[in-house]
Amino acid sequence: MLITFFRAVLLYIVVLIVMRIMGKREIGQLQPFELAISIMIADLASTPMTETGIPITNGIIPILGLLVMHLIISVLNLKSTKVREIICGKPRVLINKGKIDENALRKERFTVNELEERLRGKDIYNLGDVEYAVLETSGEVSVIQKPEKRMTTPEDFNITPDYEGIPYDLVVDGKIMFKNLEKLGKNYTWLEKEIKKFGFKPEEALVATIDGKGQFFCQKKSNK
- Give pLDDT tens digits for 12-24: 788 778 777 766 5
Write down the pLDDT at residue 201: 92
pTM (2 decimals)?
0.61
Question: Where is average pLDDT lowest: 21-30, 35-44, 94-103, 118-127?
Answer: 21-30
| 3-class DSSP assignment, residue 177 | coil
Does position 36 have pLDDT exceeding 90, yes or no?
A: no
Architecture of the domain made up of 168-220: 2-Layer Sandwich (3.30)
High-pLDDT (> 70) share of the chain, %: 94
Q: 92-149: CATH homologous superfamily? A: bsu07140 like domains (3.30.240.20)
Report whether 170 contacts 210 (CB < 8 A).
yes
Residues of the chain with CATH 3.30.240.20: 92-149, 168-220
Alpha carbon of 142 to those of 60, 202, 221, 223: distances in Å? 38, 43, 41, 46
Predicted pLDDT of residue 8: 77
pLDDT at 59: 82
